[in-house]
Structure 1
Amino acid sequence: MESVVYPNHLGIIMDGNGRWAKKRGINRSLGHKAGADNLIKLLNYIYNNTSIKVVSLYAFSTENFKRDKNEVDYLMKLFVTLFNSKLESIKKNNVKVVFSGRRENLPKSVLEAMDKTTDDTKNNTRGILNICLNYGGDYEIVDMAKKIAKQVLDGTLNIEDITKEVVSKNLYQDLPPLDFVIRTSGEKRISNFMIYQSSYAEYDFPDTYFPDFDSKCLEESLDNYRKRDRRFGNAK
């Protein structure tokens, strides 16, 4: 029997919470809550029913701070709840949780919840959940360049020794390249999501808003991934 092919590293751009709420005539905050509730169900499905090892989530971009203050404040409180309680089932699935992004501008309560989650799951081995929070792919490259430049100035790294592996180790997280990225809601852009790690990633843009993107929708996207002929620049 032929084994089912899964991406090793799956990225999800969780888009459409606000439009999901607007369509129902309810507050945007309820859309974000519905998205968070759906996320837990989706992650439990992934880690219990697939062989996907790494999942990267685009939770909050650096540009999202430009949104209405009430919405941003609500999202920060939602993150605290998500990390402190809603992720418990993910932790029990032996998944290591890490974070990518800049810590500056994040409230103390969010930072404390992030640090506790990281510490609680640091020895887990089933897989990795990488949450991109206050994240921008361009900022990640800038911060990586600064880290490498400091090592060169400190004399701990020679310019000639800078390789792709060195670059990867100086990103927010040293993770394998993205294989497949799903952006929900039908928008066809990547919005600065893990641009260094996605050089050969495949993409899928389902029309479903994230709160409605369930395991059936995920499997449909994964079926699309399996139909792709990944050439990595080679002619076939």
Structure 2
Amino acid sequence: MSDVVYPNHLGIIMDGNGRWAKERGLNRSLGHKAGADNLIKLLDYIYKNTSIKVVSLYAFSTENFKRDKEEVSYLMKLFVTLFNTKLEKVKKNNIKVVFSGRRDNLPKSVLDAMDKTTDDTKNNTKGILNICLNYGGDYEIVDMTKTIAKQVLDGTLKIDDITKEVVSKNLYQDLPPLDFVIRTSGEMRISNFMIYQSSYAEYDFPDTYFPDFDSKCLEESLDKYRKRDRRFGNAK
């Protein structure tokens, strides 16, 4: 594994749960459940078989609250189950779990499960799982700007001292830049996912719906990443 190149920070836009269910004549909620079950298997594979240190997941966007109320309600309950029980394997793999996004509009049950998960894993050191929940990349930049503006107003930060490093530290989480982003289901857009952190990220858009995106699919995407010529703006 040490001779194989892996991204340090992998982002996954988990798309296609609803269409996966529809094609099987199932309720959309069963697609989300299948996606959650697959996620646990995929994370277990990543942390046991690769050297990827940070994984960021797009779990629920700020715009997803516009969906059918029953679907949103089901997703909130699924998140509670996911955080309280299904992430046990992740916790046992010595992974620190953090969350990115706005806490307002989230039910107390979800917030409590998030806080417990964060507290339970705060001392873990092998890697980081960043779950983007009630998240929007534009809102993250707005919230970061407000935080820095307050620091300038109260005198704890000078305008001339604002650097890229200061900006990063005031995002929802201070994480390394994204190296590689995978969006499942074949949709070729990033949908407001970590737009500041992904300035030089590579992308892959496999056609597979997320419930079927297994370790073999992941390795196929990673093989594409290894063949990319990452220039970071430099001419070669």
Distance 2:89 2:63 in 1: 30
1:56-81 superposed Cα distances (whole Å, 9 cap, x missing partner): 00000000000000000000000000
| Partner SS for 1:70 | helix
Alpha-carbon distance between aligned partners in 2 of 1:22 and 1:227, rounded to the nearest angstrom: 35
Identity of counterpart residues, as a percentage? 91
Task: Give how far 1:2 is off.
Answer: 8.0
Alignment partners' CA distance in 2, 1:205 and 1:2: 26
CA distance in 1, matches of 2:18, 2:128: 27
State the distance in 2 between where 1:229 and 1:215 align. 24
Deviations 1:204-225 (A, max 9, x none): 0000000000000000000000
CA apart distance, 1:99: 0.0
TM-score by length of 1: 0.99
Does residue 127 in structure 1 map to residue 127 in structure 2?
Answer: yes
Structure 1 residue 147: Cα displacement: 0.1
> Residues 164-213 of structure 1: CA distance to partner in whole angstroms, max 9, x if unpaired?
00000000000000000000000000000000000000000000000000
* Secondary structure class of the residue paired with 1:166: helix
CA displacement 1:42-98 (0-9 Å, x = unmatched): 000000000000000000000000000000000000000000000000000000000
Q: CA separation in 2, counterparts of 1:21 and 1:126? A: 34
Cα deviation digits, residues 24-51 of structure 1 (max 9, x gap): 0000000000000000000000000000
The number of residues matched between the two structures is 236
CA separation in 1, counterparts of 2:229 and 2:125?
30
Distance 1:229 1:200 in 2: 12
Shift in Å, 1:160: 0.3
Which residues of structure 1 form unaligned runs of 5+? none
**2:32 — aligned with what?**
32
Aligned position for 2:149: 149
Poorly superposed stretches of 4+, deviation over 4 Å: none
How many Å apart are 1:144 and its aligned residue?
Answer: 0.1
